[in-house]
Structure 1
Amino acid sequence: MRRTAVLGSAGTLIAGTLIVGAMTAPSASADAQQNNGGNAEARGVRAAAARAAQQGIDWKDCPADWSLPKPIQCGYVSVPLDYAKPNGRTIRIAVDRIGNTGTAGERQGALIYNPGGPGGSGMRFPLRVTSKNPLWTKTSKAYDFVGFDPRGVGRSTPISCVDPQESVKAPKLDPVPDSEADKRVQRKLAKDYADGCKKRSRTMLPHMTTPNTARDMDVIRAALGEKKLNYLGVSYGTYLGGVYATLFPKHTRRMIVDSVVNPSREKIWYQANLDQDVAFEMRWDDWKAWVAKNDAAYHIGNTPQKVQKQWEKLRAAAKKNPIGGVVGPAELLGFFQSAPYYDSSWPEVAGVWSKYLAGDEKALVEAAGPDMSDTAGNISAENGNAVYTAVECADAKWPTSWKKWNRDNTRLHRDYPFLTWSNAWMNLPCATWGAPQRTPLNVGTGKGATKVLIVQSARDAATPYDGAVELHQRLKGSRLITERNAGSHGVTGLVNPCINERVDDYLLKGTLGRRDVTCDPHATPKPAEAKDAARTAAKAAADLPTVH
């Protein structure tokens, strides 16, 4: 997972809620209905899609520096920067694909993927086929796997907010303020970041919205020659999928959304990030309990309380004297937060920490320190953070009162200190954003829309469980698969036959089942030797969803 700061997208947690009862889907709002009808953006996307269908995609072998080997092919799709002006400036969206591995008779079309963010690249999706990932063997027989860089990301007219060389400098300020003076410094940094976005990416910012990315997906669909969209979205990709299904219900065929952002207008995006802080604390507690249970392997502490004290001790030491000169509290959090995100990271984080406590700080510096190679070209953490900020700031109207931010985050930090202030500073540029902020779309589908499959772990930290419940209510006829007593982010990428078989049945046969399903959790990670843990985690990270 690539990131330079804590990144947010979420919903509130309904503790212990596993079974969803009967639900009534709210109808799409007037603005969604208008976008489906005849307003300027709707006319614009129809015109752009018609052009794309005629032009198609000039598929070629991918450039060598894209690290996408044959038989994966790459190309571009042109879309309007502003769909209200479809004959105005265009931007290019990078796409890639690998054809279905089955026969022509088995093919069911293209499956388009978004890993999350906002700011994540989906271009690695075809590698699930070339790497022969067993979870996707059946699906790849029926579908071309298609990835893309959303607008502003990577090779799709990338945006920037700061010099990438500056973004990797470490150590950064401790996100937890000790005084009002510390808060003033952070507020200035946030304002400077917002100003930098406006200065470096001015023309793109007004158009960096989730509805526009959904419109881009419809143009990609047309360029692929597909009448309807098949889609897999994870994390933020679930919100993108919900917006697409709202705007283009008649263009949606099969859609899986995994680890769901709460689509409520009241949540997008300020409240969603506050809710996320609560869920992260819960999952942090889960990891501490696992570390304590495996104290014989890691020697960090044999109770969660002792593990927490060791964390506080490590944090204080790094604040006083940054480890290796570059790892302070902010960098520690950037590394340790992968444990609440993905339990596949549990052995790695514990192993690196264990080695540090045994006197070897090299592994911790390598894991948590700045990646100086992550500054070249368009694919960088700086670009990902810029897109994250631009989309969330543009999608919704954010509070501009510092008193509100200060009150809300001070209150939350008292009980949920792991993530709260870091998440606040990550999002604070939206309080002084220098581009239009819109009212979020009212996500929802009506009668006759495609029935969507929703997959969610009950203890997800990044996208808490009630987001799945909310989306289930809004997408008429959808089904919800809950993985109980589990909290990893990105459930469809995990080995759990109860989930994997239902995903295959839906994509291959359209089978949803007559009711929602609760599955037992996937296997809990086992302790690993520290020398093996980093290798295992690095291999797994190549296919993890991106969450901001």
Structure 2
Amino acid sequence: MGHAGEQEQPREVRGGGLAARDIAAKCTIRNGSRLLPYINTRNTARDMGVIRGILGERKLSYIGWSYGTYLGAVYTQLFPRHSDRTVLDSAVDPANDNAVGLNWAITCADNTVSWPRDPARYRRDAHREKARHPIYGDFAANITPCAFWPRGAEPATRVDNTAAALVIQNQWDPQTPLSSGRALHRALHGSRLVYIHGGRGHTVYALPGAPARVTRTVDAYLTDGHLPKTDLTCNS
């Protein structure tokens, strides 16, 4: 797809804005604006429900890491009667306000209501965040293809249920921070939080070096279906 010359673009759309718009334009051309609004987390969760039905299973047990935690939470919200043992490791905030780890299609379709459409807004936010956070910079505030994306077919799912999930969270997770894990724990009222004090890195369970107590707790839950009686704190 051809683009107008640089001299014809508003100042706020140049640079990163042009790249973001180019991604959105190419995805729209290749996939069609009729398809893109439907590539979202809700429909992925519905696909999981279809797979469960095809397999003849009454309930689905699930382990999700990172963005997979939001997907698992959405599944419990849409299909509570068909949810069984659910482990959510390194949780994305269910409000989904900054899901930068997702691919653009899902990120943009899930958040088209909240993503600003004015490129100048991103420019102002980026300058502000760079001043406030000199080390991290404006990474999370800069413009993305979502500013130019077709509107999603439906809003993102609000997670608010009593799913008996097990939420695993490192203290120093650089991608899904502790605040996100706690937010998901609050949204799933029947859940238990396993907090790794001093834990570093993104994702915990089934990785080399995972605290033994985390492994025992998750294994026991997946085996017998019983959550810990209270939230747990483990040392890294």
Please tell me whether residue 194 in structure 1 is matched to residue 24 in structure 2. Answer: yes
1:206 matched residue in structure 2: 37
2:220 matched residue in structure 1: 505
TM superposition shift of 1:419: 4.7
Query: Are the equivalent residues in 2 in contact too, given 1:198–1:435 (CA < 8 A)?
Result: no
Matches within 5 A, 1:309-324: none
Match of 1:237, SS state, is helix
Q: Distance in 2 between matches of 1:199 and 1:183?
A: 20
Given candidates 170, 181, 186, the residue that maps to 1:457 is 170
1:468 matched residue in structure 2: 181
Matches within 5 A, 1:373-452: 388-396=103-111, 397=113, 398-425=115-142, 428-436=144-152, 438-446=154-162, 450-452=163-165
1:363 matched residue in structure 2: none
2:5 matched residue in structure 1: none
Instruction: Structure 1 unaligned segments of length 5 or more: list them.
Output: 1-161, 163-179, 277-384, 522-548
Given candidates 227, 252, 264, the residue that maps to 2:83 is 252
Q: Distance in 1 between matches of 2:91 and 2:187?
A: 13
Q: TM-score, normalised by structure 2?
A: 0.86
Q: Distance in 2 between matches of 1:493 and 1:223?
A: 28
Match of 1:193, SS state, is helix
Q: Which has the higher contact order (CA 8 A, sep 6+)?
A: 1
Name the amino acid aligned to 2:188: L
TM superposition shift of 1:461: 1.2
Choose 1 or 2 for highest CA Rg: 1
Given candidates 188, 199, 205, the residue that maps to 1:492 is 205
Deviations 1:52-75 (A, max 9, x none): xxxxxxxxxxxxxxxxxxxxxxxx
Q: Distance in 1 between matches of 2:170 and 2:121?
A: 31
TM superposition shift of 1:435: 4.1
Name the amino acid aligned to 1:461: P
Q: Distance in 2 between matches of 1:186 and 1:476?
A: 40
The structure-2 alpha-carbon separation of the partners of 1:183 and 1:401, relative to structure 1 and needing over 3 Å to count, comes to: closer
Name the amino acid aligned to 2:186: Q
Match of 2:87, SS state, is strand
The structure-2 alpha-carbon separation of the partners of 1:432 and 1:182, relative to structure 1 and needing over 3 Å to count, comes to: closer
Given candidates 210, 213, 217, the residue that maps to 2:48 is 217
TM superposition shift of 1:262: 0.4
TM superposition shift of 1:237: 0.3
Given candidates 232, 236, 246, the residue that maps to 2:63 is 232
TM superposition shift of 1:510: 1.5
Q: Distance in 2 between matches of 1:248 and 1:428?
A: 32
The structure-2 alpha-carbon separation of the partners of 1:404 and 1:182, relative to structure 1 and needing over 3 Å to count, comes to: closer
TM superposition shift of 1:420: 4.1
Query: Are the equivalent residues in 1 in contact too, given 2:131–2:137 (CA < 8 A)?
Result: no
Name the amino acid aligned to 1:256: V
Query: Are the equivalent residues in 2 in contact too, given 1:481–1:518 (CA < 8 A)?
Result: yes
Name the amino acid aligned to 2:77: T
Q: Distance in 2 between matches of 1:223 and 1:437?
A: 26
Q: Distance in 1 between matches of 2:127 and 2:72?
A: 34
Q: CA RMSD in A?
A: 2.3
Match of 1:217, SS state, is helix
Q: Distance in 2 between matches of 1:242 and 1:254?
A: 12
Query: Are the equivalent residues in 2 in contact too, given 1:492–1:500 (CA < 8 A)?
Result: yes
The structure-2 alpha-carbon separation of the partners of 1:417 and 1:389, relative to structure 1 and needing over 3 Å to count, comes to: farther
Deviations 1:145-183 (A, max 9, x none): xxxxxxxxxxxxxxxxx9xxxxxxxxxxxxxxxxx9797
Query: Are the equivalent residues in 1 in contact too, given 2:193–2:232 (CA < 8 A)?
Result: yes
Deviations 1:97-154 (A, max 9, x none): xxxxxxxxxxxxxxxxxxxxxxxxxxxxxxxxxxxxxxxxxxxxxxxxxxxxxxxxxx
Q: Distance in 2 between matches of 1:467 and 1:393?
A: 19
Please tell me whether residue 519 in structure 1 is matched to residue 223 in structure 2. Answer: no
Q: TM-score, normalised by structure 1?
A: 0.39
Q: Distance in 2 between matches of 1:422 and 1:232?
A: 29
TM superposition shift of 1:415: 3.8
Query: Are the equivalent residues in 2 in contact too, given 1:262–1:470 (CA < 8 A)?
Result: yes
TM superposition shift of 1:414: 2.2
The structure-2 alpha-carbon separation of the partners of 1:197 and 1:260, relative to structure 1 and needing over 3 Å to count, comes to: same
Q: Distance in 1 between matches of 2:71 and 2:213?
A: 26
TM superposition shift of 1:436: 3.1
Query: Are the equivalent residues in 1 in contact too, given 2:38–2:152 (CA < 8 A)?
Result: no
Given candidates 463, 472, 482, the residue that maps to 2:195 is 482
Which has the larger displacement, 505-514 or 229-238?
Answer: 505-514
Q: Distance in 2 between matches of 1:433 and 1:424?
A: 17
Aligned length: 223
Name the amino acid aligned to 2:175: A
Matches within 5 A, 1:150-169: none
Q: Distance in 2 between matches of 1:417 and 1:242?
A: 34
TM superposition shift of 1:496: 1.2
Match of 1:256, SS state, is strand
